[in-house]
Amino acid sequence: MRELFLREGLTVRGTNDGETCVHAVERHFDRNGGDMLAAIRAAYADLEGDYAFVITHHDDHRLFAIKKGSGLVAGLGGGFTCISSDLPSILPLTRRIVRIRDGEIAVLAPDGVGLYSVHDGSPIQREEEHYDGPIEVAEKGGYPHFMLKEIHEEPTVAGELLHLLNNSKYVDSFLKALDTPDSRPVYFVGCGTSYHACLLGAYYWNQIARRTAIALLAPQFIEQCGQSVGPEDVAVFVSQSGETKDVLNAVKAMRERGGRVLGVLNVLGSTLAHASDVYLPLACGYEISVPATKTFVNQAVLFLYLAYRLAGRDTGELAPLPDLLARTLDVTDATARDVAAYLHHWDDLYYLGYGVTHPIALEGALKLKEITYAHCEGIFSSEFKHGPLSAVRQGYPVLFITAPGDEAMMINHVNEVTTRGGRAIAIAAEHPALRANVHDYLVIPEANRFLSPILLTLPAQLISYHMSVARGIDPDHPRNLSKTLTVD
Ligand code: F6R
């Protein structure tokens, strides 16, 4: 559409979708005799995808709003009206609301909100609602905890991130900044969950793009590489908050050696954003729950996307991901709840993964420790026989996370546990032989080897969530932890 606008002589300043929406309306404004309603109706026919936006003309005292797919709700106050994509932001101002539906244009004046059909411009009658619920419930979108809400946002935010990456000029700058003279290894640096995304990213880059990436914990990066990196080196610092002190210390160490600093972050305007030569956003919206969930998924999506770009592979192959994520939540939740009920009685657990699923095992174990207070260790499955196997006894649960292609080997690792009386819990796509060898099976949808680890993350998150709730713990606020760690 931007090319069309330029051909028509409009001034196009940026590349973001918001500006595109403005021009989409603007080009119909004069043609329709300066009638905003008519211009928006014409623009609606041109715009594709999901959006919600508010627009006005400088000579008009009214605001016009329209949505497709995305949320939009208007508030009616005493002598004012307001509109937002987010109900909780309205509730402190007024409890009188009007929900806007697809195909409706809302026109806001200080004394009221009018609704009009986008199809024929006719007025629509809608009674205002009075929202009586607590703000907290609205904030949680009807879910009992932010964690569950944020898990259920994963399909949407993954789709939004892919859309953003496909259209962002910063991806090219980011890829350019990754160029090193002799394709030397690149460092991926983070803490906690973000570090696990770095580990997964390193697998992706090796297996898809044949580029060596070394994933390191931020303090480890300082200790292990802080004296040897130089101006030719590049490191990608990954942090949801962009404020984790350990990560910022590592950035400082990299800067002191003259190396390039790339950032991957969720909070725009964070210290990491300012400290980076180039950064890419995770585009997840706020993550309120202390355990990171949707930001991990998008960190993984971002690394996968970049690996595809580096390999010159068609990123269109990633398009099914949002739908696969949504289906994964649907088909694994009930079993996750059952498995959580069994695990609830154990305080010392193991998550096993192999290769690309090793980071998911580490992440599954971290999430479980964090919000259930049970101890859980993530292990490279082939390592289990080298020591931890001695933990297995009658009924002892071990979780196995498997990507397509690794099932035959994982069955060997499963049998080491089951022959000693252990209970094997598999998370994998359907595989009859694996199914025949385990006690519980959380089945994810079929997907390629690289999309699968991202899907496999979701049942692991659900298991920890349900186990946390079964233990009477608030998963959003586990004891002793905070969302942003600004201390060494
Ligand atoms: C675990 C979790 C933490 C964070 C870690 C890094 O669920 O949230 O392990 O991943 O504290 O935080 P960021 O990504 O903000 O640097």
Q: What is the pLDDT of residues 314-328, one digit of tens each?
A: 999 999 999 999 999
The answer to whether residue 154 scores a pLDDT higher than 80 is yes
User: For a pLDDT cut of 70, what percent of the chain falls above it?
Assistant: 100
What residues contact 299, with CB distance under 8 A and at least 6 apart? 194, 197, 198, 201, 238, 240, 264, 282
Q: Worst-scoring range by mean pLDDT, 27-31, 201-205, 441-445?
A: 27-31
- Write down the pLDDT at residue 395: 97
Q: Is the CB of 485 under 6 A from ligand 1?
A: yes
The answer to whether residue 85 scores a pLDDT higher than 90 is no
CA of 249 to the centre of ligand 1 (A): 15
DSSP 8-state assignment for residue 15: -
- Write down the pLDDT at residue 229: 96
Q: Phi/psi at 188 (nearest 5 deg)?
A: -110, 125
Q: What is the pLDDT of residues 43-63, one digit of tens each?
A: 999 998 888 899 999 999 999
Q: Is the CB of 460 under 6 A from ligand 1?
A: no
Closest CA to 201 of 483, 221, 190, 318: 190
- Write down the pLDDT at residue 330: 98
Tell me if 425 sits within 8 A of 440, measured CB to CB. yes
Q: How confident is the model at residue 127 (pLDDT cuts 50, 70, 90)?
A: very high
Q: Kindly report the number of other CB atoms within 10 A of residue 290's CB atom.
A: 18
Burial class (CB in 10 A: 0-12, 13-18, 19+), 454: buried
User: Mutation test of ligand 1: which of 193, 198, 221, 284 has the most ligand atoms closer than 8 Å to its C-beta?
Assistant: 193
Buried b (16+ CB within 10 A) or exposed e, 151-163: bbbbbbbbbbbbb
Q: Is the CB of 215 under 6 A from ligand 1?
A: no
CA of 371 to the centre of ligand 1 (A): 13
The answer to whether residue 74 scores a pLDDT higher than 90 is yes
**Atom 10 of ligand 1 has which residue's CA nearest to it?**
193
CA of 453 to the centre of ligand 1 (A): 19
The answer to whether residue 135 scores a pLDDT higher than 80 is no
Please name the helix (run of DSSP H) or strand (run of DSSP E) that holds residue 149, with its range, or none. helix 146-152
Amino acid at 102: D
- Write down the pLDDT at residue 412: 97
The answer to whether residue 429 scores a pLDDT higher than 80 is yes
Q: Worst-scoring range by mean pLDDT, 19-28, 57-66, 135-144, 165-174?
A: 135-144
* In the block, residue with structure tokens 């309120």: 288
Summarize the confidence of residues 92-118 as an average pLDDT. 94
**Ligand 1, atom nearest to 241 Cα:** 15
Q: Kindly report the number of other CB atoms within 10 A of residue 101's CB atom.
A: 12
Interior CA angle at 278 toward 277 and 281, to 5°?
Answer: 140
Q: Is the CB of 244 under 6 A from ligand 1?
A: yes
Summarize the confidence of residues 303-308 as an average pLDDT. 98
By DSSP bridging, strand 375-380 and strand 278-281 are: unpaired
Q: Is the CB of 191 under 6 A from ligand 1?
A: yes
Q: Is the CB of 288 under 6 A from ligand 1?
A: no
CA of 253 to the centre of ligand 1 (A): 20
Q: What is the pLDDT of residues 25-46, one digit of tens each?
A: 999 998 989 999 999 999 999 9
Q: Is the CB of 397 under 6 A from ligand 1?
A: no
- Write down the pLDDT at residue 202: 98
- Write down the pLDDT at residue 14: 82
